[in-house]
Amino acid sequence: MLKELHLNAYAKVNLALNVLGSRDDGYHDVETVLHTIDLHDAVTLREREEGIEVRTDSPAVPADARNLVVRAAQVLRDTFGVQRGVEIDIHKGIPVASGLGGGSADAAITLMGLVQMWKIRLNGRGLLSLAASLGSDVPFFLEGGAALARGRGERVSWLPALPTTWLVLARPRVEVSTAWAYGSLDLPSVGARPDPGAMVEAMRREDLQAVGRLLGNVFEGLLVRTHPVVGELKRRILAGEAYGATLSGTGPTVFGLMANEAAARKTAEDLSALPDVEVLVSRTFAEER
């Protein structure tokens, strides 16, 4: 009997993101504090006789090897000589190319699901290594919750998750590629930088007001200059009952940590009046492992 798994792939926000410098391998060294939120994609894995097929309800998501889930399935088949195939259905809840990590989350949950489905013997270190080969954020999504990530993002130190905290997320309809953002970032001219170390300490104290004050992203100035709507969204979020607001990833999504659910929904209603902005309400999330 062919197997079928239904899994959720949760989004993330970057509470603090700093870029330290470029590396010889073409990547950059970063320090970032990540936290999963309950916004998610629904991923269904169905075993089949052969091949890898991806179906999605979003025309913006490729169904070929440009999609990390295809590469995740293929690397397992190649590494462990798996003869079976898989159909992968992705129902998108995470906006595409938003800085919220949807592609990496989908790849991580696909890796974990296929290891189970295909009964692959693989320890945690081996799984982390495969995840890192797919993308910088993928190792974090193997567990989610909260973490400090270093290197190009693959060196992950887990942190205690925040108490449930409501967020408002606003994704303007502008295109921001990760390659462009890193290529355009002039590190010597960056002004005030976020402090991931201070963020970690505030999280350990469960001091949400301090977490809000420390929210920061080294790409924020670049995005505000090139896409002024990013600055406008941050200003509007801060005008509500927000602990703080910043950019997630390389953007373009701006998010705010809000005082409560009512504040998040009120701010979301206000932001929804703006043209060409997708607005969502979510909350911090960490699965029981």
Catalytic residues: 12, 137
Let me know the angle formed at the C-alpha of 286 by 282 and 289, rounded to the nearest 5 degrees: 155
CA atoms within 13 A on the CB side of 111: 30
What residues contact 137, with CB distance under 8 A and at least 6 apart? 12, 34, 101, 104, 149, 153
CB burial of 185-211 (b: ≥16 within 10 Å; e: otherwise) equals beeeeeeebbbbebbbebbeeeebebb
CA atoms within 13 A on the CB side of 157: 9
3-state SS, residue 119: coil
Euclidean distance between CA atoms 186 and 206, whole angstroms: 33
Q: Is the link from the previous residue into 252 a cis peptide, with omega within 30 of 0?
A: yes
Helix axes of 228-238 and 261-271: crossing angle, nearest 10 degrees: 140
What residues contact 62, with CB distance under 8 A and at least 6 apart? none
